[in-house]
Amino acid sequence: MIDPKTLAARFPGDFVFGVATASYQIEGAVKADGRKPSIWDAFSNMPGRVHGRENGDVACDHYNRWEADLDLIAELGVSAYRFSIAWPRIIPDGTGRINEKGLDFYDKLVDGLKARNIKAFATLYHWDLPLALMGEGGWTARSTAYAFQRYAKIVMARLGDRLDSVATFNEPWCSVWLSHLYGEHAPGERSMDAALHALHYTNLAHGLGMEAIRHVAPNVPAGLVLNAHSVIAGSNGAADIAAAERAFQFHNGVFFGPVFKGEYPADFLEALGSRMPKIEDGDLDVISQKVDWWGLNYYTPMRVANDPSADAVYPATIDAAAVSDVKTDIGWEVYAPALKSLVETLYHRYELPPCYITENGAAYNMGVVNGVVDDQPRLDYYAEHIAIVADLIKDGHPMQGYFAWSLMDNFEWAKGYQMRFGIVHVDYGTQVRTVKNSGKWYSALATAFPKDNHKAG
């Protein structure tokens, strides 16, 4: 086992080690204090969408247990907490009336973090779109981007004086492709046309959100969290290498290009541009406003091969075989080198600001035995991937922090409660929290920061 103190010595003294969660996955209290349904409330309650038809009605009951949960974060010794804000709590219908009780909750949460000397990293959108906005078309409608801008302005006006950082979106890949093309996440669309509309209007919403943040809270470092895919060709053949490039542009370029270059990838537009919504004058200028930082969520590589079938639609790829035989309980290949090559590739292709690893972790479903959760595979996963981040820093990449996903076991979207990503075990029947061995190891690493063994910079 990698000694946490030895690993800590490889990081600069001001490096941030934190934990991450998301509102719908932990809060519960879906009808409390004026909150109205999100698209995930509706999706979860439709048969066949979520494992066991489970939902976020109670989840980890964080809405009622937030003080004890913040105490737990403090006890772990991490210096930052990344959480998301539920739009349906703030503006229950997506537009119109502001719900003060929703803002009050996050007010208390942020004040609680400040009182415990924990940095507050907020995410404005982690997939829980107010259900009422589906009447206008949800993310396939341009109006939703402007509704998001107003929501961002309201949240930042209330919380911006105390936030250490804010992200507009978490993983737009999921809320665009996974939700509108592959149908696996809410709202469960399986339409390329719907997905392409959601793509542009989500990108636009990010830009409009940045405008709102800059206007209301100009001193808060603002960015975007992307689950960039480490796309690896299944062979050295020309067809597979070309397929990997198409996959890179489809899964990464359509987000990084508009934000960091002010343009969509040319090959993507050639293939699918005719099915995109109208890109209005000025849209790309709005989308490509400067961000202060970006977040990378990484779990597993994407291995692809060329799809030779005549009716294949861009990016025309199929899955290629895994290289590592180590898999997590969710079935994802464990392959830490892909994290390094991914960051290197992205900094080579785009002019990027400093980076936080905003999510990284592994699903292993060990339970509590005699008061202990022995989750050695998760601990090994963390050690291996955090060592890669240290390698990236040594090579000169501006890595500024790392957030473990997740603080605690929670509602894992379409997988329901069967998959556990937490460094803290949650007994959903009793809501008892138990720090896993991986959590104890991570705590030993995190408590070495901030420290003076390196010059901060």
Q: Domain map of the chain by residue range?
A: 4-446
- List CB contacts of 62: < 8 A, sequence separation 6 or more: 21, 26, 27, 28, 69
> Quick check: helix, strand or coil at residue 296?
strand
Check residue 456 and give its pLDDT: 39
245 catalytic? Reply is no
**Catalytic: which of 27, 54, 171, 412?**
171
100 catalytic? Reply is no
Tell me the pLDDT tens digit for each residue of 233-290.
999 999 999 999 999 999 999 999 999 999 999 999 999 999 999 999 999 999 999 9
For the chain, first and last CA: distance in Å?
30
Check residue 454 and give its pLDDT: 41
Q: Does the structure show a pLDDT above 60 at 433?
A: yes
Residue scoring higher pLDDT (428 or 453): 428
Check residue 62 and give its pLDDT: 99
Tell me the pLDDT tens digit for each residue of 36-66.
999 999 999 999 999 999 999 999 999 999 9
Check residue 455 and give its pLDDT: 41
Check residue 452 and give its pLDDT: 56
**Catalytic: which of 27, 333, 359, 412?**
359
Give the mean pLDDT of the chain.
97
pTM listed for this prediction: 0.98
Greatest alpha-carbon pair distance for the chain in Å reads 63
Tell me if the bond preceding 450 is cis, omega within 30° of 0.
yes
Check residue 450 and give its pLDDT: 80
Check residue 40 and give its pLDDT: 98
Candidates 3.50.50.60, 3.20.20.80, 3.30.390.50, 3.40.30.10; CATH matching 4-446: 3.20.20.80
Closest by CA to 401, choosing from 409, 389, 413, 412, is: 389
